[in-house]
Amino acid sequence: MGMSQDGATGMTVKAGIINVTGYAGSELARLLHRHPEVELVSVTGRSAAGKPLSDVFPHLRGLNLTVEPEITKPVDVVFSALPHAASAEAIGPFLKSGVKCVDISADFRLKDQAVYESWYKVTHPFPEYIGEAVYGLTELHRPEIKKARLIANPGCFPTGGVLAMAPAVRDGIIEPWVIVDAKSGISGAGRSADVKYSFSELNDNSSPYGLTGHRHLPEFTQELSAVSSIGRINCTFVPHLVPMTRGILSTCYARLNDGVTQQRVDELFRDFYRDEPFVTVSPSAPATKHTWGSNECHIFPVVNQKTGMLIVISALDNLVKGAAGAGVQNMNVMFGMEETAGLKSVPVYP
């Protein structure tokens, strides 16, 4: 690491992005470019290798970067936005050479290799790193992230659902099962050429998917069970596509223990997130657009006394808090920088 550009902490972290040509990759580029203590030195992409980054993403013209076939310059940290399996393969060599890694893919999220291999239908390329990888939901794993060299950045859906239910699960005020009904913007499907993600098919339309099991489900189970004071959590998760570009709205349901009041729930949630820079317990029902382009997550717990249910809503931007922003937040913690560095921008609304 060289000297700081702005004197804040005396450091400039040199960063690289593997596979900048998807939406998580381009969002990483947007965030790292404006980070006061990071220099984005190299970005890679297969199909666009050799082209200016602005050929693929005109909005990144100001970064003056060229897409390279691989990371060519020395880096302190590398972010991989490759698909699973390919991602583990790509970051293996960096790990070996001591470069810190933030893996946006699912490769190191699941602690149980067999669970990973059964959901993702591949043999894990680098199982030897699963043990030391830290699940990068900063709010739950900050102490481990500080010491980590490999971050498994969480899936966008588990980020919204686990943040919504973690306080209730840890405090044991509910029965040990949750339902997460998630409404996702289409960018969560990635930058892909597929009729089913075309504008004409998705505009003015809503539909569920993954009804027989979505790959993010084991993350819910692992993380909620890990924080739980009431044993393993039985998770039901149904994602839906709704016609917006960014955003995940998660509506979570659980059976509340007798006698738990709205006031107690409010206090519990506010205490849980009191010192968190990016999680806000909202005073009213959240809307995804209020987090657009920012690393914020808005959470709103409601006690339905008539039915005895706890309903918790969370809203976030799937490409920021659900992917690239969380990655930058984790990098900040790993390198001892201010956790909000590069992530202070106000959401863009409307």
Pick the stretch among 84-92, 133-141, 155-163, 207-215 that binds a second copy (CB under 8 A).
Answer: 207-215
C-beta of 9: minimal distance to a second copy in Å?
15
Q: Residue 158: what residue type?
A: P
Q: Which of 64, 113, 261, 304 touches a second copy (CB under 8 A)?
A: 304
Does 214 participate in binding a second copy (rule CB under 8 A)? no
Q: What token pair was written down for 111?
A: 């602690």
Binding to a second copy (CB under 8 A) within 10-29 occurs at 23, 26
Comparing CA positions, the residue from 241, 249, 226 lying closest to residue 300 is 249
Residue of the chain from 213, 232, 261, 336 that contacts a second copy (CB under 8 A): 213
Judged by CB under 8 A, the number of residues near a second copy is 86
Q: Which of residues 234-253 bind a second copy (CB under 8 A)?
A: 234-236, 238, 240, 242-247, 249, 251, 253
> If binding is defined by CB under 8 A, does position 5 make contact with a second copy?
no
**Strand order across the 100-103 sheet:** 67-68, 38-44, 13-18, 77-80, 100-103, 150-152, 134-135
Restricting to residues 29-58, name those near a second copy by CB under 8 A: 30, 33-34, 57-58
Three-state DSSP class for 280?
Answer: strand
Q: Which of 77, 85, 19 is nearest to 53 (CA)?
A: 19
- How many residues in the chain? 350
Q: Which of 156, 235, 252, 297 is catalytic?
A: 156
Stretch of 80-88, 132-140, 166-174, 233-241 lying at the interface with a second copy (CB under 8 A): 233-241
CB nearer a second copy, residue 187 or residue 329: 187
Q: Toward a second copy, which CB reaches closer, 133 or 315?
A: 315
104-141 burial, b for 16+ CB within 10 Å, e for fewer?
Answer: bbbbbbbeeeebbeebbeeebbbeebbeebbbbbbbbb
The distance of closest approach from Cβ of residue 297 to a second copy in the complex, given in angstroms and rounded to an integer, is 13
Kindly list the distances between the CA atom of residue 310 and the CA atoms of 167, 175, 251, 277, 286, in Å, as whole numbers in the listed order: 12, 10, 10, 25, 16
| Position among 149, 230, 287, 338 found at the interface with a second copy (CB under 8 A) | 287
- Rounded to an integer, what distance in angstroms lies between the CA atom of residue 258 and that of residue 54? 57
Q: Closest separation between CB of residue 320 and a second copy, Å?
A: 9
Task: Give the x-and-dash track for 251-280 against a second copy (CB under 8 A).
Answer: x-x--------------------------x
Binding of residue 289 to a second copy (CB under 8 A): yes
Q: Does 111 interact with a second copy (rule: CB under 8 A)?
A: no
Tell me the C-alpha distance between 47 and 36, whole Å. Answer: 30
CA-to-CA distance for 226 and 140, rounded, in angstroms?
Answer: 10
Of 114-173, binders to a second copy (CB under 8 A) are none
Q: Answer for the pair 223, 135: CB distance below 8 angstroms, yes or no.
A: yes
Among candidate residues 103, 187, 200, the one with its CA nearest the CA of residue 153: 103
Q: Does 9 bind a second copy (CB under 8 A)?
A: no
Tokens 């560095």 correspond to what residue? 341
235 is catalytic: no
Shortest distance, position 6 Cβ to a second copy, whole Å: 8
What is the smallest separation between the CB atom of 223 and a second copy, expressed in angstroms? 16
Please identify which residue in 191, 215, 264, 270 interacts with a second copy, judged by CB under 8 A: 191
Choice between 2 and 208, CB closer to a second copy: 208
In the complex, minimum distance from the CB of residue 93 to a second copy, in angstroms, rounded to a whole number: 30
94 vs 346: CA distance, rounded Å? 34
Rounded CA separation 319/187 (Å):
8
Cis bond leading into 301, ω under 30°?
no
Instruction: Name the nearest CA neighbour of 292 among 266, 322, 250, 271.
Output: 322
Could you list the active site residues? 156
